A and B are shown apart, each in its own frame.
Chain A
Amino acid sequence: MSLSQIETETAGVDAAAAPVAPQPGMVGRSPGRLAWARLRANRTAMVSGWIMVFFVVLGLAAPLVELVYGISPFEQFQDKIANNSLPLGYLGGVSGEHWFGLEPQLGRDIFIRLVYGLRTSLFIAVSAALLTTGLGIVLGIVAGYLGGWIDAVISWVIDFALALPFLIFALAIMPTVTARFYGPRDEIPVPFRIGVMIFLFALFGWTGTARLVRGQVISLREREFVEAARASGAGLFHILFRQLLPNLWAPILVSFSLAVPGYITGEAALSFLGIGVVDPTPDFGVMINKSLSYAQTDPAYLIFPGVVIFLLVLAFNLFGDGLRDALDPKSSR
């Protein structure tokens, strides 16, 4: 690293480029509309956005798809399963009737189970992301603005939560909580399992958003528009949620859109380990878990859910990145 004048001069170039930047002029566009225009211009973001929308619509419309497709996710086609419990036909039984083939042994339709699995997965991921984001916003904004001992306590809790190993904690908590409410032979209702999962995600997931929001608020709270509100007699609620919050939407949206794919994989992982959703509820993690035993004999069973979950997570991640570029054009490139 040279510290000659060259270096000091480079610093000056950036400083000098700023006043040259054009004045936006009277174009009548809000910051949100400008970001939207930038997002529109980003091909990757738009393509992944449409894929995302497609998956979400498919998941939401699962009963409708079932109606059109004509097969329920629980229907078993034992007549199409061979004696060695593998589906008849090529590629795990792909046919005009069963688009993605059939499950070995039980002979359930993979396509419709994926559509319903999408529904489960997205429901859990989006609920968890909403909950963690909401929790993160409130705690982050309060910690950042008020500072002092409140900030110290919240920050300590954040550090504490970040230090806990999520997976071990989840493995431990799931059976404990279940045992607290249900006996060993009771049928555990699906909503309860899903609820506990969302709760687990929320318990661990809010820290990221809270940290992000806290940092942003600390840099915003000294701005003069906040002082102007205080000087006019504004209360805490007005300052936090009317003045500060609108300036936080960009990072919050980005962290939300990047949290969803995280929870999709997280949910699949927990279900894979058997502590999330269980059969017969259609779910990615459960399917992949079961398909592993057939990886040699019926690879299609592994490939279809694998590709769907891969595409889903990739689309969400790419869109999240595009959103970040659009909302904060200075962050990259």
Chain B
Amino acid sequence: MTHDAASPPYLQVDDLRVRFNTADGEVRAVDGVSFGLHRGRTLGIVGESGSGKSVTSLAVMGLHDPARTRITGGISLGGRQLVGLSDGDMRKLRGRDVAMIFQDPLSALHPFYTVGRQLVEAYRTHHPDASKAQARQRALDMLDRVGIPQPDRRLHQYPHEFSGGMRQRVMIAMSLMNDPALLIADEPTTALDVTVQAQILDLLADLQREFHSAIILITHDLGVVSQVADEVLVMYGGRAVEHGTVAQVMRGPQHPYTWGLLASIPSLHGDPEVELKPIKGNPPSLINVPTGCAFHPRCAYAMKPEPCAAQVPQLLAVQADGHRVACHLPEPERIRIYTDEIAHVGVAQ
């Protein structure tokens, strides 16, 4: 990640740990995740359910219930430490410096107020001096910018009067009202049809170029990541297992879990009769994360019991610049396995 390497990243997450207390025991939702993100870059966080990808982003937003959540580590946003920040200070930050787009815009928008009123309110929360007319103008501009036809008419409509794709555009417009430097999109296109998904992804990319914001894109879809992200963070069992540029992770993945993900998705190219290679077993419960490397019970290359079942592997840099992998296998061995056994099957060819 040579991009802006001289300046510190806009978002820096250090050894983030998020734990919840539940009746069944402590849930280690995020267990020591570190990464940095510069403005103008898109980070795709990929993982399955329970991987901790959404919890990580909610921690950045400061949206966890403090009564039952313990967050340790560091989250620095534009040089400001967010962990331990008061609720009031965090509220000032949210929407202005960091905004979020959810998977289901219908439940994230208030059903009883017009879209215009919600946009205006979002703007005036952070611009108390702005007049209503100014805020309204801003709302119109943003709706127009996200590609909603006839914005002056749509301003007076309620969320349910918009189609799924248009609603997500409204959500994006809302998140951009205050020109945030960091935008977190949690599965923004999962509920959408593929032709609409393509529109929304294009829109996000355009807006990023224009506003020069940092984007975290949380998704389970490697295809989406491969299209829009600059960097990829693969998460499993609450930990980061691989981090690198999209090219590094897509062309030369070094973690067995990443291999498994790539080999288990069918493609529009290649021989459709070739069997998919699923990862055996199920994702782990976060209450009872396997010892050592969380992936070792499902890993075909694990060295058991030592060290894979005993020690948690560190996310360490490999030879390629900026590419980090958390795996006990020696790097030459990983490269050999990937080129000999993985690369030629499925989509990775």
Contacting residues, chain B, for A19 (C-beta < 8 A) = 49-50, 54
A307 within 8 A of B: no
Q: Given B20, B29, B94, which contacts A9 in the complex, CB threshold below 8 Å?
A: B94
Q: Is the CB of B27 within 8 A of A22?
A: yes
Q: Is the CB of A13 within 8 A of B50?
A: no
A15 within 8 A of B: yes
Query: Which positions 200-219 of chain B face chain A at CB distance < 8 Å?
Result: none
With A12-B100, A20-B286, A22-B22 as given contacts, are A3 and B63 in contact (CB-CB < 8 Å)? no
Dominant secondary structure of chain A at its interface with chain B: helix
**Complexed CA–CA distance, A113 and B25 (Å):** 52
**Complexed CA–CA distance, A25 and B288 (Å):** 9
Q: Is the CB of B22 within 8 A of A21?
A: yes
**Complexed CA–CA distance, A3 and B94 (Å):** 14
With A3-B110, A21-B22 as given contacts, are A15 and B121 in contact (CB-CB < 8 Å)? no
Chain B residues touching A, range: 35 or more
Q: How far is the CB of A31 from chain B (nearest CB, A)?
A: 16
Q: Is the CB of B121 within 8 A of A12?
A: no
Q: Is the CB of A22 within 8 A of B117?
A: no
A2 within 8 A of B: yes
Contacting residues, chain A, for B134 (C-beta < 8 A) = none
Query: Which positions 225-275 of chain A face chain B at CB distance < 8 Å?
Result: none
Q: Is the CB of B99 within 8 A of A5?
A: yes
- Digit string of B163-199 for contact with A (CB within 8 Å is 1, else 0)? 0000000000011000000000010000000000000
B247 within 8 A of A: no
**Complexed CA–CA distance, A22 and B28 (Å):** 10
A164 within 8 A of B: no
Q: Is the CB of B99 within 8 A of A22?
A: no
Q: Is the CB of A9 within 8 A of B287?
A: no
Q: A-B contact count, CB below 8 Å? A: 81
Contacting residues, chain B, for A6 (C-beta < 8 A) = 91, 94-95, 125
**Complexed CA–CA distance, A316 and B27 (Å):** 37
A8 within 8 A of B: yes
Q: How far is the CB of A327 from chain B (nearest CB, A)?
A: 16
Q: Is the CB of B110 within 8 A of A7?
A: yes
Q: Is the CB of B104 within 8 A of A15?
A: yes
A67 within 8 A of B: no
Contacting residues, chain A, for B50 (C-beta < 8 A) = 19-20, 23
**Complexed CA–CA distance, A5 and B178 (Å):** 11
Q: Given B55, B61, B99, B122, which contacts A20 in the complex, CB threshold below 8 Å?
A: B55
Contacting residues, chain A, for B94 (C-beta < 8 A) = 5-6, 9
B24 within 8 A of A: yes
By beta carbon, the residue of chain B nearest A2 is B121
Chain A residues with CB under 8 Å of chain B are: 2-13, 15-17, 19-25
Beyond A4-B121, A20-B27, 12 extra complex contacts between A and B, CB < 8 Å: A5-B94, A5-B122, A6-B91, A8-B109, A12-B58, A13-B65, A15-B107, A16-B54, A16-B63, A17-B65, A19-B54, A24-B24
Chain B residues with CB under 8 Å of chain A are: 20, 22, 24-25, 27, 29, 49-50, 54-55, 58, 61, 63-65, 91, 94-95, 99-100, 102-104, 107-110, 113, 117-118, 121-122, 125, 174-175, 186, 285-288
Q: What are 10 residue pairs bridging A and B, where the CB atoms are less than 8 Å apart in the complex?
A: A5-B122, A8-B108, A12-B58, A13-B63, A16-B186, A22-B25, A22-B287, A24-B24, A25-B287, A25-B288
Q: Which 7 A-B pairs have the closest CB atoms?
A: A5-B95, A4-B125, A22-B287, A23-B285, A8-B108, A13-B63, A3-B121
